Chains A and B, each alone.
Chain A
């Protein structure tokens, strides 16, 4: 109770609330401008969170991402360009609704069911995380080894259609994570006699490089394309009352709402896949089980209800493994974990015991952020036409400048700028050749943890590999890893046979 009171005090301070409102506006803007993603919003926030106390810092990231994922639906609906990849799944559907003259219904469904999905994911986070943490207190290095391996495995097999390429980027990330002194003998590994590399490859500049730069390169391509043609068709469509008819929608599609929110939360919690994957899968499932599948793609709100709820619930789901195990559920939490470490809020089961007020505060932040979405999202819809006219050719270079200054600000190290450049180029190369990026990030982030638990287990077991599966939970996790590998191999084999 005392912890809960402390949490309320932290969350309802003037500073936190001001940060949340500002972060909301930032998130809505980033989400509504096509090409800028929720992950990029988080990466751009990192240098600013560096100068905030822990709870406002977390508040900024939670609010900005929730808003960005919702706001991504707006340009999709009005001009048929998804604001973030998480809205791409149903962009045709919402645009058709607009063409039919139902723009306000489409935007209303996006907003209301984003809030419902977000709150559902938060509820699961509140219920599941402490229970998982209690169980995780019994974990030894064996369980952690398998858990991290399971996370990395999921990242490879869940996140993309090219598991072999995912595996390669995962190994690259793990190798990058090996750089530096942090290893059993504190031997400077792969440092090439550069003192800057002794502490390893700086994670945040590398992540800004990998995510934000790819976004910029991609946008610079799109930009060039759209400049040649027609920048953005002016949006003059009138948007009526957004909330009208939403009660009827809720009564009409309760199963879809629940299914989308649950699937979204689960997909979010699985490492490597986040809001965009959740939206694609939910939309597909909605169509598959719909009583009127023929209406999908013609401006029918059913899939939008389900997928719109799914991508917002995925955000909260991703925090479950991030808080309990320090294993990120998506690319956003991968960055968040880096910030948590900087703030001395090291994720793991013990944080639930040692620092319950911070955990309660995170839960509260999620609830407030999602509730805040109703008024601010409504406001954003009202000014959407103006937002969409933001000249992106002025915006992109300034964002590039923000990336550079942000990467420098973490350690005030000029060397980190070169890491940013290298990561940006590497990420661009991998992306254009069909290699998924998420496994590389996860490998870098979790490499040290995997090695530590692996070596510790090896020493405890005295090299006897049987000991890795002797404890029941460890055996169960090992089995899960094998199942994921087996199922993926079988699916790959089936697809290959289907092609030949």
Chain B
């Protein structure tokens, strides 16, 4: 599913307007006329202008192709439906990791993430659990022990090493 340039332009225009609206309340810098609102204001104005131009170019047929070609054309292979599955599993694994890592701890979460990813990439079933376990423990050893990154222990708090 790819969106056209017109709705994307409209969304960015809305963002620019929201920024312009929001910065009205910024206080001035003490003792000088150029406060914290000036720079984001100019940027938002620029974004608004560029968004409008993008929408206009999307409506004018000749121009659209020039920007459209740069994007890989309308028949872009990335738009095909089956490609969504690996994308969703990757994002799902990522979001799942971030949401769970504090509660379950690094070792359990990373192990589960790797298992699910290996399964999604059709790794041979016999390999999934051992490779996931070894990789998790290696990453843990490298970052927690060697680099002293405080990866959370979560459920395993009683059995730290």
Contacts and interface: CB of A to CB of B under 8 A. Distances in A.
Interface stretch (A84-92, A376-384, A453-461): A453-461
B143 interface: yes
A496 B121 CA distance: 43
A185 B51 contact: no
Which of under 10, 10 to 19, 20 to 34, or 35 or more describes the interface residues of A? Answer: 35 or more
Contacts of A171: 16, 43-44, 46-47, 50
Given A221-B78, A409-B149, A421 B86 contact: no
Nearest to A454: B39
B117 A189 contact: no
Interface of A is mostly: helix
Contact of A404 (B44, B47, B54, B94): B94
A232 interface: no
Which of under 10, 10 to 19, 20 to 34, or 35 or more describes the interface residues of B? Answer: 35 or more
A464 to B, nearest CB: 12
Between B57, B86, B106, B131, the greatest number of chain A beta carbons within 10 A of the residue's beta carbon is seen for: B86
A486 interface: no
A249 to B, nearest CB: 35
A398 B40 CA distance: 39
Contact of A402 (B51, B139, B150): B139
Contact of B67 (A162, A409, A428): A162
A489 B153 CA distance: 56
A418 B101 CA distance: 12
Interface of B is mostly: helix
B147 A185 contact: no
A479 interface: no
B122 A393 contact: yes
Interface string B31-73: 0111110111001101100110110010000110111111110
A288 interface: no
Interface in B1-54: 2-3, 5, 8, 12, 16, 19, 22-23, 26-30, 32-36, 38-40, 43-44, 46-47, 50-51, 53-54
A164 B147 contact: no
A48 interface: yes
A300 to B, nearest CB: 28
A115 interface: no
Contacts of A217: 86-87, 90
- Give the 6 A-B residue pairs with the shortest CB-CB distance, closest first: A434-B71, A397-B117, A220-B86, A393-B121, A161-B70, A162-B70
Interface of B: 2-3, 5, 8, 12, 16, 19, 22-23, 26-30, 32-36, 38-40, 43-44, 46-47, 50-51, 53-54, 57, 62-63, 65-72, 76, 78, 82-83, 85-87, 89-91, 93-95, 97-98, 101-102, 106, 110, 113-114, 117-118, 121-123, 127, 131, 135-136, 139, 143, 146-151
Interface of A: 47-48, 50-51, 160-162, 164-165, 167-168, 171-172, 174-175, 178, 183-185, 187, 189-190, 213, 216-217, 220-221, 223-225, 227, 391, 393-394, 396-398, 400-402, 404-405, 408-409, 412, 414, 417-418, 420-421, 424-425, 428, 432-434, 450-451, 454-455, 458-459, 463, 492, 495-496, 499-500
